[in-house]
Amino acid sequence: MLNTIYRLVAPRRFEIAFQDISLQGDEVIVRPTHLSICHADQRYYQGARPAEVLAKKLPMALIHEGIGDVVYDPQGVFKPGDSVIMIPNTPVEKDDVIAENYLRSSKFRASGFDGFMQEHVVLTHDRVVSLDPSIDKVIAAFTELVSVSMHAVLRFDRFAHKRRNIVGIWGDGNLGYITSVLFKATFPDTQLYIFGVSEEKMSSFTFADATFNVDDIPEDLLVDHAFECVGGAASQSAINQIIDHIQPEGTMSILGVSEYPVPINTRMILEKGLRMFGSSRSGREDFERTVALYQSNPEIINYLSNIVGAQVPIRDIKDMNRAFELDNQKNMGKTIMIWDK
Partner 1 sequence: MVFGVILAGGVGSRMGNVEKPKQFLKIGGKPILIHTVEKFLMHDSFQELIVLTPTEWIEHTKNLLKKYLGEEGSTVKVLKGGSTRNETIMNSIAYIEENYGLDDDTLIVTHDSVRPFLTYRIIEENIKYGLQYGACDTVIPATDTIVHSEDGKVITSVPDRSKMYQGQTPQTFGAKKLKELYQSLTEEEKEILTDASKIFVIKGEQVYLVEGEVYNTKITYPYDLRVAESLLNDQKNGK
Binding site for partner 1 (CB under 8 A): 1-2, 4-5, 7, 16-21, 23-24, 29, 31, 56-61, 71-72, 80-81, 112-114, 119-120, 315, 340-341
Considering the complex, what minimum distance in angstroms separates the CB of residue 27 from partner 1? 13
171: phi > 0 → left, psi -120 to 50 → alpha, else beta; which? Answer: left
What's the Cα-to-Cα distance from 168 to each of 183, 223, 250, 280, 329, rounded to whole Å?
10, 6, 11, 19, 29
Cα–Cα nearest to 226, from 192, 202, 267, 186: 192
Considering the complex, what minimum distance in angstroms separates the CB of residue 4 from partner 1? 6
Of 64 and 225, CB closest to partner 1:
64
CB burial of residue 216 (10 Å; 0-12, 13-18, 19+): exposed
Identity at 109, one-letter amino acid code = R
Considering the complex, what minimum distance in angstroms separates the CB of residue 83 from partner 1? 15
Say how far apart CA 313 and CA 82 lie, in whole Å. Answer: 21
Q: For residue 63, which phi and psi values (nearest 5 degrees)? A: 85, 120
Characterize 21-50 residue by residue with b for buried, 16 or more Cβ atoms within 10 angstroms of its Cβ, and e for exposed: beeeeebbbbbbbbbbbbebbebbbeeebe
Of 83 and 147, CB closest to partner 1:
83
Considering the complex, what minimum distance in angstroms separates the CB of residue 338 from partner 1? 12
Angle value at C-alpha 306, between 207 and 108, nearest 5 degrees: 105
Considering the complex, what minimum distance in angstroms separates the CB of residue 106 from partner 1? 16
Q: Is the dihedral of CA 115, 117, 119, 125 positive or negative?
A: positive
Say how far apart CA 201 and CA 2 lie, in whole Å. Answer: 45
Considering the complex, what minimum distance in angstroms separates the CB of residue 7 from partner 1? 6
Of 7 and 127, CB closest to partner 1:
7
Residue 275, SS3 per DSSP: strand
Of 61 and 169, CB closest to partner 1:
61
Of 2 and 97, CB closest to partner 1:
2
Considering the complex, what minimum distance in angstroms separates the CB of residue 307 from partner 1? 29
Of 58 and 185, CB closest to partner 1:
58
Say how far apart CA 328 and CA 2 lie, in whole Å. Answer: 32
Considering the complex, what minimum distance in angstroms separates the CB of residue 308 from partner 1? 24
Q: For residue 20, which phi and psi values (nearest 5 degrees)? A: -80, 130
Q: What share of the chain is helix, strand, coil (3-state, %, to 5)?
A: 30, 30, 40
